[in-house]
Each structure stands twice: as C-alpha cells, then as structure tokens.
Structure 1
Amino acid sequence: MTELRGSASEPCRVLVLDDEPLILLDLEFAVEDAGCTPLTALDLVEALAIVQNNAISAAILDVSLGRGQTCEQVARTLAAMGVPYVLHTGDLDRMDEAVRNLGGTLVPKPTPAAVVVARALEPLAIRHV
C-alpha cells in the first residue's frame, strides 16, 4: 500500500474524536492499518488542543460527545484550515441543524472502522493523484 502523506514531507496524521473509548480504539487501530498516525481525543478540549498543536491531514469526528457537547467547534476549525473530515454518528436525527450543516462527509454508526477511515482519507488520495 502507498503511504499517505499530509504533504510532501509530513506523514498522514488523522484526528480521531469519539467519547466512546472502544470505538475510539477501534478507529485508532484502523488509522494505523491505513498507514497513518492517529491522534486521539475523548472530548472537545483534547481535540481542540490536538488541532492547535499538530498538523492534521484528516479527521474522524463523533458528532455527539455527551454532556450536551458536539464536535461543531472542532469541525468548524478544521474546515477553516482546509482539513477534510467525516462526521461519524449514530444519532444525526437528534442533532441540531447547525451540526447537520457542517459540511463533512456523513458516515453512520455502525460502520466498520476500516470503512470510516477510508472515507476520511479519500480526499487525501485525490490530492495526491
């Protein structure tokens, strides 16, 4: 498999944000299997710190993070930076209209982790063709 890179000199780094540890772990392994470095976060604060301190190539964002939090702030930050992301959610019907319009690719739960990662990395493959 060809190694994906975020740019000509940087390895591919994928932010994975999910408040469910088992889903996060499954996605982390799938990102590694795809040849990228996973940067994982269980909550909004962790995810924002990762985005501020790392060059991110792509992201997988759980929409609902519990305690009334959503991934909206992270998604908007990534969009402003031109970083592609997927919204991985099992409850889109309950989400606020603002989250529905974030513009990321929607991947419903449950979807196999390898498929979620492949969808997140699709824009990178297009950029490097």
Structure 2
Amino acid sequence: MGTSIGMNILMLEDEPLILMDLEFAAEDLGCQALCASSVRDAMAILDGPDPVDAAVLDVTLKGGETCVPVARALQQRGIPYLLHSGDLNRHDETVRGLQAELVAKPASASRVIARAMSYANAGGGMAAQA
C-alpha cells in the first residue's frame, strides 16, 4: 500500500514477447505487472500478498490449458478482467461463457492495459455488451 505505483494488474499470457509488451505497457501507465504464464502461476498470484485490481487473460495457454479457472476465481473475488486472444474460432464458446470483454490480438499493449485499468477504476463492469 503506501507506494506511488497505481494498481496491480495480473497478466496471464504464455507468449513471452507479448507478456513483456504488456508488462512494459503497464509500467509505463504507472501500474505493477503481476505476470503469469500458466493457470498455476496465476492462481499463486491471486493467493499471494499483492492485491489484484484487474487482470488481462490470454484464453489459450500452452499444454491445452485455458484461462477459465483463473477467470472464475477472479469473478468470485469481484476482480474485473478482460480477455486477450488471437484464437477466437477455437474457443468461441469459452469466450462467450465468460461474458468478458475480448480484445483481439494483435492489439496495442498500452490499449489492452488502459482497458483493464478502466475496468478497475469503474469497479468491475466487465460483462460483455451484446
């Protein structure tokens, strides 16, 4: 708490270059990036000491994982999140079931982080607008 850094944003992304872009964009916007590349890593961050204000979740992860367990944990805790995916056809049902805003890849990392920040500032209005 008493730091000058704004909000903590959980980033679940298994592509190192994309994760790095998101991390730098978050830092440029005054946020702390809490980076994870697997469901296990993301859940450890959620259970860790740092509060999470918002999250950016890649839908499809390595090893056949999806972001669904993390999305459900965020929903239970009332933490807003958005989905960041380039694999829309394969996981269309997954994305619809989560009812979160989707920012399709490729997208500007700063735009993705700004959207996540706006959700956190709005108190979590993350349901998709149909």
Any idea what SS the aligned residue of 1:70 has?
A: coil
TM-score (norm 2): 0.85
Question: C-alpha distance in 2, partners of 1:44/1:111?
Answer: 22
Picking from 103, 121, 124, the partner of 1:125 is 121
Q: List alignment gaps of at least 5 residues for structure 1.
A: none
Q: Does 1:97 align with 2:93?
A: yes
> 1:28 maps to what in 2?
23
Q: Any runs of at least 4 consecutive aligned residues in structure 1 with deviations exceeding 2 A, and if so which?
A: 124-127
> 1:62 maps to what in 2?
58
Partner amino acid for 2:81? Y
Offset of 1:52 from its aligned partner?
1.0
**CA spacing shift, 1:113–1:36, aligned 2, 3 Å:** same
- Which has the larger share of strand? 1
Q: Percent identity?
A: 49
Offset of 1:11 from its aligned partner?
4.2
Q: List alignment gaps of at least 5 residues for structure 2.
A: 124-130
RMSD: 1.7
Q: Does 1:110 align with 2:111?
A: no
Question: C-alpha distance in 1, partners of 2:120/2:10?
Answer: 14
Number of equivalent positions: 119
TM-score (norm 1): 0.86
